[in-house]
Each structure stands twice: as structure tokens, then as C-alpha cells.
Chain A
Amino acid sequence: MTVFKATLLSLRSFLSTIIIYFLIFAIFAIVRAKVSYNTTADLYKDTSLDVAVLDLDNSQLSNALIDYLDSSQKITKLDSNNEDINYQAINDNIRFEIYDYAIIIPTDFSEAIISGDYQDKLEYLASANSASGYLISEKINTFLSDVKTYLDCGYSEEDAIKISLEQVEKTDIVDTKIYSNDSYNSVTNNASISYSFVFSAYSCLMILTVCIASVLGFLKNKDSKDRISVSGKSFASRNNELILAVFLIGLGITLCFFIYSAILGRKQPDFHMLLFYGINEFFLMLLGLGIAYFICSITSNTNLINMLSNMIVLSLSFLCGVFVPSEFMSEAVVKFSQLLPVYWFVDCCKYIEHHDFSNILSSHFFECLLIQLVYAIIFFVAGIIINKKREQYAY
């Protein structure tokens, strides 16, 4: 098993690459799992937004307003000790979607409402002309106009706030239903294990392509090649050992991603679908091995392997919905990305996420796996053809 051992040992040189890409995946998966949510469900639920509140007034009215918003939104109270408002820092958090909306309640807010000088008294920050901006502003205006109306009609401040809070609580009940004949909406998922599997497409493919292509490139090195060929091993035995080693490396790397994703998603509702995610990941591994073989047939230069791997895998990831969900892409781009193998890996993850255990083994599931397999074979065949041609021209 000399070739087998040599192949495995040569992987040691790429340990830093494996660690870096795995760490990127580990961090991304944790962050992504925390921020992910799903819009498809068969029960209606109001969208809850992240609202930051800077309350400089700290009055009965401002507290009532915050309590009202807190009943339906996720409220983060900002530090109000500092008199200087750092609008830029708040705006940065809005732009990078840490908050959806930020509201600033000035020191004289309560007095202004009572005295009637209320026009545009509050300030808010939200993405330009955003739907979240409209929604929360509408809620605030509704509540405050109630308070203002009751104050103007002679109620005391305390009564006006109390009646308004009770009233918005009662009128907040609207009969809202979801109607859809889309089969993807059959399962309610607020969180899913699929997010970490989807992102693993990038890191796993990067590690597989860079490491396997570099290891294969190393074995194509004239010195290594000569030393292997003068050994007493037959051509078939050498190749079998090489294939076994490459397959084992691929399996080991993929298994690391699978286990990490499983640990991360152990509390998710679709954890029982792990087997199917694993099958999908296995086909991704075959695709990764195919791409690696294709790249190493082009070059055995480590720098070029890195460049090609980055170009291919990063582009595939951006186009196929690994980093940016395909729902945000234009129709033409989605159609184009359907021609790419990673799209089918991502699509398969979504399919598993939205289906029951009993309904999963459908033609679409197998179609996704088959397309990945076909692409893996295409890359292998292309690699073999390039190698053959290179050998022909070498003589």
C-alpha cells in the first residue's frame, strides 16, 4: 500500500488550507443558523422585525410605546446614557441588517405629545424606502394617534395610555390565512439544518478541489512519478491504491462537514432528515472529486490549482444560491444556474427541508442527485481526455 500511504501523507502539506476553509464554514454556519428563518408555512405569523430603541425620554408614554412594540417585535434597547446620538453607528447596524429599524425617542417626547407639538417628534432609521420602515412606522403612528385622540378628548395621560394599550391589543387580532397549493409549503419550518449544509457546498468543494488536485498534482511530479513507476507494483494496483486514497480523503473531509452540520442542527425540527442531507453531501463529494481531477489534468502547479479552484468554486457558489438565496436572483440568472451542478445540490437541500420523511424519495430528489453525478462524470471524462491529449503531445 505504498502509493496509498504516500497519497495520504502528502495531504499533510495542505492541513492549513483544510483548517482555514473549515473554520470559515464553522463560523459562517453558526452565524447563518442564528439569523435564518423561513417564510413558507401553512400557518400565518406576523413578521417580527429587529427594532432598536434609543429612549432618551424614559417617560410613561415612551415606555408604553416600547412595551407595545415589544409585544410583536424583537426590541433591543440602546444605551441612552450618552447624550450624543451616534446616528452613524445606528445607520451602520441598519445597513448591515443587524436591526431592521431603529427609533429615537427624544428627551421631551412625552411633553410634546401632551402639549400638541408632536409633528415628526420621533426619528427613525431604516433602509431606504423599505417595507420594514413602513410597517413599524404605521404601528407607531397607530398607537400614538390613539393616545393623542384620548388626550384631546379629555382623558388623563395615564388613562389614555392604558386605554390605547388595551385597544391595540384587542384590535391586533386579524383573521389572516395562508392559501397556497404549492406543495413546498406543506411543512412548517422556522429553522432548519439545511442552511449549514447549503454553505458546506463552498467550503467542502474548496477543500476537496484544492487538496485533491494538489495531491494528484504532486503525484504527477516527474520525480514522484518516476519513483512510483520503478517500484514493483503493477499499473492496476498502483491506480487502485490511488483511487482508494483519493476516495478516502474525500470521504473523510465530507464526513467532517456532515458531522459538524449534524451537531450544529441537532435541535432543528428537520434533524431526522439527516440521512438525506448526508446522501446529498456524498454526491457533492463526487462532484468535488470530479472538479479536482479536471483541474489537476490542466495543471499541477499549486498556484494555478488554487486560482482555478477559487474561480470555479466561488463563482459556482455565488451563482447557485450558496451565499445569496436564488429567490433574490433574476429569473434569467436562475435559469442559467440550473445548468450548473451546485444549483442541484442547493435545490436538493431545499427539497429535503420542505418535505416529510415519507415523501422525500421522489423523482425530484433522485433527479438532483443524478445531475450532480452526471456532472462529476463529465468532469472526470474531461480530465481523462485532457490527460490523454497532453500525453500524446508530450511525445
Chain B
Amino acid sequence: MFFRFFSYSLKQLVRMRWLVGWNFLFPLVLASAFYLGFGNMIKDDPNRLDTIEVAYVAGDGINSNFLSVINELSKETEDHNKILDITSFDSLDEAKDALNKNNIDGIYYQHDDTIEVIVSENGLNSTSLSQIVKSYQNYQASFEKILSEKPEEINTLMANMESNQSFIKKHDFNTGVSQYMQFFYALLAMSSLFGSWISTAIMTNLCANLSESGKRFEIAPGHKLKAIFAGILAGTILQALSNAVVICYVEYVLGLHWGAPICMVIAITILASALGISVGTLIGSIFKNQLALSMVPLAFTMTCSFFSGLMMGGIQQIIQNFCPLLNKINPATVFTDSLYQLACYGKTSAYYEDLCIMVLMIGLCLAISVLILRRRNYDSI
């Protein structure tokens, strides 16, 4: 009997074209839009330290000390390629022309014992160019001060300057996953929560006051709870399938790596699909109006997705800092966080906590739904 209910539910769902469109087509279209919109930011981080193209113009003779400093910075280092790429220009006008054409990021113009920095806009590159001059001026000031006050320490000073000392090291998690992948995690969360449409459609087909098939179902001698669970299983399978398609599309067609083994990502999304379906079942058991059954899941999904970072990356972290409880009760954030934890830090306690919360949410939604749906009657006396 259970299998019969299950196969009928699956057939009913597959025949709803708009539902298939929502769950299969919409995430694919959105993933493509994401990829076109900021796919290049995932492959090529905009915050990355690129080599700064800079022109050096000696207005009144070359300052060999400064030139040697910037030449040192144009050599390749262990961490990254090189900080500066220097081009010498004979005149300032030529350099300005290159700046206007965006061939260079800035100009070092040395004249009257000063080094002027000319840039085209404010930003990190411009500040970095300025910082190099500040560091140079600072070393020069140290040199002059010690030479005038403690000339006997000149050897110590020279040894310090040549030691290339570093006081700071990076604490690296070596994640290798772009922060912009968070948008795709949120997309999967949204896609999973769209599963709530599937279950509201299932509920419509099972409620006598909402559809003809509901009337036929209610008078049939079949076990109601079995039918509901068969419908939930069919919906979960359909939703999980659509999520798997999106995951494979992003990984293999768009060429973006999820940061975790693909089978693991699919396994977590199966759980998220079940969560979406359970939420939909709860909505379907609470609301009895046809319009509400289509509007409430949409509003719920979009609100949860927004707070999980679908439209604004980082909003979940702002919430985490000010009201972490909100992140723990938002199913979309719990799901995106589980993927994020897995991709960035591996199977941490936070990852398992997220999975447990999802399982709890599924259980809670289904338990409440069962309580509401049992012994439902349609009299209005």
C-alpha cells in the first residue's frame, strides 16, 4: 500500500509542470546568473594582492636609495609573485598618459628631494603605493636620528636594516574555497526550501476542502498517515534529485568547486530537501487557503534565503555577531553553515551541530503536522 501511495504521489508531482520548473529550472537559471555575475570573483578573488603596475619618473636625477627599495619590491617573493612592476618614464606627461589609459596604477615622481605619488583613484593599491614611500621615509628618519645621536651604533642599525625581519606571520586555514561560494550555498538552501511547494501541493491533493482528488482520497479506506509519509518521501526524492542536478551543474558545467566531496554535498542536500518538504508539510497543514498555500512557502523561502546570504553575502555573519539564535532557527542558514563548515574547516563540532539541528527541525515539523492533521474533519456547523 505504501509503495502504491508513493508511486501515485511521484506521478502526481512529476505531472505538475510548474513544480518541476520551480525545482529543476529555477535553480539552474539562477546558478547561471550567479556564475555570469560573479563567477570571475570566485576564480579570481578581487581582494587578491595583484602586482601593482607603477611608473618611476626621476624629475631631477635618480634617487638610487628609493629606486633600490622599489626594485627590491619588484622581485619575486615566496608568498606571492611580486609587489611592484616598475616602468621608468622620461617625463611626467608620458607617465600621466599611461595612467589615463589604465596601463599603470600609479606614478612615483621624484623631484626636489621628495617622492610624490600620483594615482588615478583612492583604494588599496593607491594606499599600498603610498605606504611604500612612508616605510622608506621612516627608515631614512631612523637612519638620520641614530647617525646624529648614536653614531657608534651604526653597525647595529645597518645589521637591523639588512636583516629583513618579519614580526608577523599568517594564521592560515588553507581552505582554498572562495568566500563567494557562499552565494551558491545559499542558492542550494533556497532550492531545498522550495521543496515546501512540493509538500503544499501534496497536501492540496490530500485535503478534501482543497481539491477533487482530496475528496476522493478522504473517503478512501487507505491509511492517511501512510499516504502522507509516502508523499513526503516522493517529494524528498524529487527535491533531492533537483538539488543533485544543480550541484553537478555547478561543479562540472560551471567548473566551480564546492569545497567538499560532491557526494558529501549531495548527502547534506538530501537532508535539506527533507527539511524543505517537512516545512512545506507544516505550512500545508496550518493553512487552508489556496492562495496562502502558494504565497506562504514563497515568502518563507525568500525570507530565510535572504538571511542566509542569498542576496547579500555576509548578512548571516552580522546576525551571528548580534543574534546567533536567529541563525540557529533559520533552516536556510543552518544548511549553508553546514556546507560552509565542511568546506572550510572539515567535520567540526559546528558541522555536526548543524546536521543535528536540521534533523530536529524535520522531526519537529512532521510531529506538529501529524498533530494538526490527525482526525481532521470538514464540518462547519
| CA gap between A341 and B116 in the complex, in Å | 43
Tell whether, in the assembled complex, residue A47 and residue B126 are in contact, meaning their CB atoms are under 8 Å apart: yes
A381 at the A/B interface (Cβ < 8 Å)?
A: no
Could you tell me the distance in whole angstroms from the C-beta of B28 to the nearest C-beta in chain A? 10
Contact with B123, one of A47, A129, A140, A314 (Cβ below 8 angstroms)? A47
A369 at the A/B interface (Cβ < 8 Å)?
A: no
Across the interface, which residues of A come within 8 angstroms of B114, CB to CB?
175
| CA gap between A97 and B296 in the complex, in Å | 32
Tell whether, in the assembled complex, residue B119 and residue A135 are in contact, meaning their CB atoms are under 8 Å apart: no
| CA gap between A343 and B341 in the complex, in Å | 35
B61 at the A/B interface (Cβ < 8 Å)?
A: no
Across the interface, which residues of A come within 8 angstroms of B138, CB to CB?
142, 146, 167-168, 171
Across the interface, which residues of A come within 8 angstroms of B146, CB to CB?
149-150, 153
> A120-B167, A168-B138, A306-B298 known; A131 and B314 CB under 8 Å?
no
| CA gap between A41 and B175 in the complex, in Å | 36
Across the interface, which residues of B come within 8 angstroms of A328, CB to CB?
38, 40-41, 46
A→B interface (CB under 8 Å) = 13-14, 16-17, 20-21, 23-24, 27-28, 31-32, 39-41, 44-47, 87-88, 91-93, 95-98, 103-104, 113, 118-135, 137-142, 144-146, 148-150, 152-154, 163, 167-168, 170-172, 174-182, 185, 202, 301-304, 306-307, 310-311, 314-315, 317-319, 323-324, 328-330, 333, 336
Tell whether, in the assembled complex, residue A311 and residue B30 are in contact, meaning their CB atoms are under 8 Å apart: yes
| CA gap between A165 and B43 in the complex, in Å | 41
Tell whether, in the assembled complex, residue A135 and residue B171 are in contact, meaning their CB atoms are under 8 Å apart: no
Across the interface, which residues of B come within 8 angstroms of A336, CB to CB?
36
B68 at the A/B interface (Cβ < 8 Å)?
A: no
| CA gap between A119 and B38 in the complex, in Å | 39
Across the interface, which residues of B come within 8 angstroms of A177, CB to CB?
116-119
A-B residue pairs in contact (CB < 8 Å), sample of 18: A20-B303, A45-B122, A88-B348, A91-B173, A92-B317, A120-B169, A123-B171, A125-B171, A130-B48, A131-B125, A137-B168, A148-B165, A149-B161, A176-B119, A185-B121, A302-B295, A318-B30, A328-B38
Tell whether, in the assembled complex, residue A170 and residue B168 are in contact, meaning their CB atoms are under 8 Å apart: no
B→A interface (CB under 8 Å) = 18-19, 21-22, 25-26, 29-30, 32-34, 36-41, 45-50, 79-80, 83, 96, 99-100, 107, 114-135, 137-138, 140-142, 145-146, 150, 153, 156-157, 160-161, 165-173, 175-176, 179, 182, 197, 291, 294-296, 298-299, 302-303, 306, 311-318, 320-321, 344-345, 348, 350
Across the interface, which residues of B come within 8 angstroms of A140, CB to CB?
167-168
Across the interface, which residues of B come within 8 angstroms of A118, CB to CB?
165, 167
Across the interface, which residues of B come within 8 angstroms of A178, CB to CB?
118-122
| CA gap between A245 and B348 in the complex, in Å | 56
Tell whether, in the assembled complex, residue B166 and residue A16 are in contact, meaning their CB atoms are under 8 Å apart: no
> A24-B302, A91-B173, A98-B317 known; A310 and B26 CB under 8 Å?
yes
Tell whether, in the assembled complex, residue A323 and residue B312 are in contact, meaning their CB atoms are under 8 Å apart: yes
Tell whether, in the assembled complex, residue A146 and residue B294 are in contact, meaning their CB atoms are under 8 Å apart: no
Across the interface, which residues of A come within 8 angstroms of B127, CB to CB?
46-47, 135
Across the interface, which residues of A come within 8 angstroms of B33, CB to CB?
314-315, 318-319
- Assuming A96-B179, A149-B142, what are 8 further A-B pairs, CB within 8 angstroms? A96-B318, A119-B167, A133-B170, A178-B122, A179-B96, A182-B120, A307-B18, A329-B40
| CA gap between A41 and B124 in the complex, in Å | 14
| CA gap between A178 and B30 in the complex, in Å | 40
Could you tell me the distance in whole angstroms from the C-beta of A64 to the nearest C-beta in chain B? 13
| CA gap between A17 and B316 in the complex, in Å | 22
Could you tell me the distance in whole angstroms from the C-beta of A201 to the nearest C-beta in chain B? 12
Across the interface, which residues of B come within 8 angstroms of A24, CB to CB?
302-303, 306, 311
Could you tell me the distance in whole angstroms from the C-beta of A176 to the nearest C-beta in chain B? 4
| CA gap between A142 and B125 in the complex, in Å | 18
Could you tell me the distance in whole angstroms from the C-beta of A144 to the nearest C-beta in chain B? 4
Nearest 7 A/B pairs, CB to CB: A96-B317, A120-B169, A96-B314, A171-B137, A153-B153, A318-B37, A315-B33
| CA gap between A223 and B302 in the complex, in Å | 31
Could you tell me the distance in whole angstroms from the C-beta of A332 to the nearest C-beta in chain B? 9
> A47-B122, A148-B165, A324-B38 known; A134 and B83 CB under 8 Å?
yes
B136's nearest neighbour on chain A, judged by CB, is A171
Tell whether, in the assembled complex, residue B314 and residue A124 are in contact, meaning their CB atoms are under 8 Å apart: no
Could you tell me the distance in whole angstroms from the C-beta of B139 to the nearest C-beta in chain A? 8
Across the interface, which residues of B come within 8 angstroms of A113, CB to CB?
167
Tell whether, in the assembled complex, residue B18 and residue A301 are in contact, meaning their CB atoms are under 8 Å apart: yes
Contact with B141, one of A104, A171, A324 (Cβ below 8 angstroms)? A171
| CA gap between A114 and B144 in the complex, in Å | 23
Across the interface, which residues of B come within 8 angstroms of A40, CB to CB?
121-122
